[in-house]
């Protein structure tokens, strides 16, 4: 069963819970990295936890939710091998997988409704990476990150 790391800050807490249920319904194993309440929390704490689990191979994919999705995206993309994509429509979620081989989906809880979030998640999970010319481009992302770490 594919493990999907999932996390949010307080703004995404309610949506995260429902997304976890959708993941289970679709046959995935959600691993919840918090937050576990609607109390104010710092998004980087949960963004790093989820992205670390994807980066180290503990989980194959990740889902992050915060108010705008911007902070979580910035945090997630600091991790080697993580390609986090902020999606606000099904088409954007699909293209993130198809052309960018995104392995972490980021959703903006304050800007999309629950149904849209579910549809984006489903489309993201059902889409495969096209490879081809896109593979060369994705490798260039990781190469730039590797050069910075040296």
User: CB 21: neighbour CB atoms within 10 A?
Assistant: 11
Task: Give the separation between CA 47 and CA 72, rounded to whole angstroms.
Answer: 6
99 noted as active-site residue: yes
Q: Which two tokens stand for residue 130?
A: 């096209």
Q: Which two tokens stand for residue 99?
A: 């052309």
Phi, psi of 72 (to 5 degrees): -65, -40
Phi-psi region of 8 (alpha: psi -120 to 50; beta: other; left: phi over 0): beta
Q: In the 8-state DSSP scheme, what is residue 34?
A: -
Among residues 10, 46, 48, 99, which one is catalytic?
99
Q: Which two tokens stand for residue 35?
A: 């937050």
**What is the set of active-site residues?**
99
């Amino acid at each position: 069963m594919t493990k999907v790391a999932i996390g949010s800050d307080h703004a995404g807490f309610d949506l995260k819970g429902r997304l976890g249920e959708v993941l289970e319904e679709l046959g995935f194993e959600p691993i919840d990295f918090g937050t576990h309440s609607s109390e104010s929390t710092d998004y980087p704490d949960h963004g790093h936890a989820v992205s670390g689990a994807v980066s180290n191979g503990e989980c194959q994919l990740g889902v992050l939710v915060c108010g705008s999705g911007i902070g979580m995206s910035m945090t997630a993309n600091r991790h080697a091998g993580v390609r986090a994509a902020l999606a606000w429509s099904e088409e954007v979620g699909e293209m993130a997988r198809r052309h960018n081989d995104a392995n972490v989906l980021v959703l903006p809880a304050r800007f999309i409704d629950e149904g849209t979030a579910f549809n984006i998640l489903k489309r993201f999970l059902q889409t495969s990476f096209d490879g081809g010319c896109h593979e060369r481009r994705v490798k260039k992302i990781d190469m730039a990150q590797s050069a910075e770490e040296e």
